[in-house]
Amino acid sequence: MIELYGTRITSHLLLGTARYPSPAVLAEAVKRSATEIVTVSLRRETAGGRNGGAFFEMIRGLGVRILPNTAGCHGVSEAVLTAKMAREVFRTNWIKLEVIGNHDTLQPDVFALVEAARILADEGFEVFPYTTDDLVVAERLLEAGCKVLMPWCAPIGTAAGPLNLSALRSMRAHFPEIPLIVDAGIGRPSHAATVMELGFDAVLLNTAVAGAGDPAMMAEAFAKAIDAGRQAFAAGMLEPRDMAVPSTPVIGKAVFS
């Protein structure tokens, strides 16, 4: 169970809706992932003209909560305007805030991100900021009014997996009460299990599922991996040791004379 802005969510997997082969494949992936939240880019879907409305209606029919995002925005005013439009379209105060600062890495512009987050929070939005694993930036986002953080583990779409486990581990330790959702860079179910074993609350996926040979099967695989990682964290895992430790007791063993 994870609580996001007062809403309790059972699934620890959030699913993106872009780049699927067809709406039917997307719908099946959503179903098999058992996700309760999908992200939708207002800019991407409205760029196709009338097709955007049909796509939005299909998403609404999936019976999941919609988290609109500001994907493709490169400045504060652009992101704020897109967020306001998304609120009108989807009738929700939730917004996944993206303000891209680098065209090659798609790394967020953290200065613009904090400014946009403050503006949106002041206007009643419940902001899910796509950010880096920098602790200072995270502090500023929380001060701006964010109650959820969404750090990357690698650049968007790279499928590289967690590149800096130490930074992710530090973020979890530094913000023990804040919901943390790993967003961007996950490529395999094992990557998702790894970050969940660190104690993160959820994972947001898109490319790794939509780009798979069988997106629906991959969505289910990720759901199982995320649950396994979460359960392992809750159970308490053994830490690595420098020396071997026998699994069979040596006390009381038979002695031959």
- 184 annotated ligand binder: yes
Q: Which of 31, 96, 147, 224 is an active site residue?
A: 96
- Catalytic residue at 31? no
- 29 annotated ligand binder: no
Instruction: Look up residue 21 and give its two tokens.
Output: 């082969």
- 207 annotated ligand binder: yes
- 158 annotated ligand binder: no
- Residues with Cβ within 8 Å of residue 89, at least 6 apart in sequence: 42, 56, 68
Please give the DSSP secondary-structure letter assigned to residue 65. Answer: E
- 206 annotated ligand binder: yes
Long-range (24+ apart) CB contacts under 8 A made by 161-167 are 161/185, 161/186, 161/187, 161/188, 161/190, 161/191, 161/194, 162/191, 162/194, 162/195, 164/133, 165/194, 165/198, 167/133, 167/134
Calculate the alpha carbon distances from 126 to 17, 46, 93, 165 in Å: 20, 23, 6, 28
Q: How many CA atoms lie within 13 A of 123 on its CB side?
A: 16
CB 12 within 8 A of CB 23: no
- Indicate which residues carry an active-site annotation: 96
Residues annotated within a binding site? 157, 184-185, 206-207
Which amino acids are annotated as binding site for 1-deoxy-D-xylulose 5-phosphate, given as ranges? 157, 184-185, 206-207
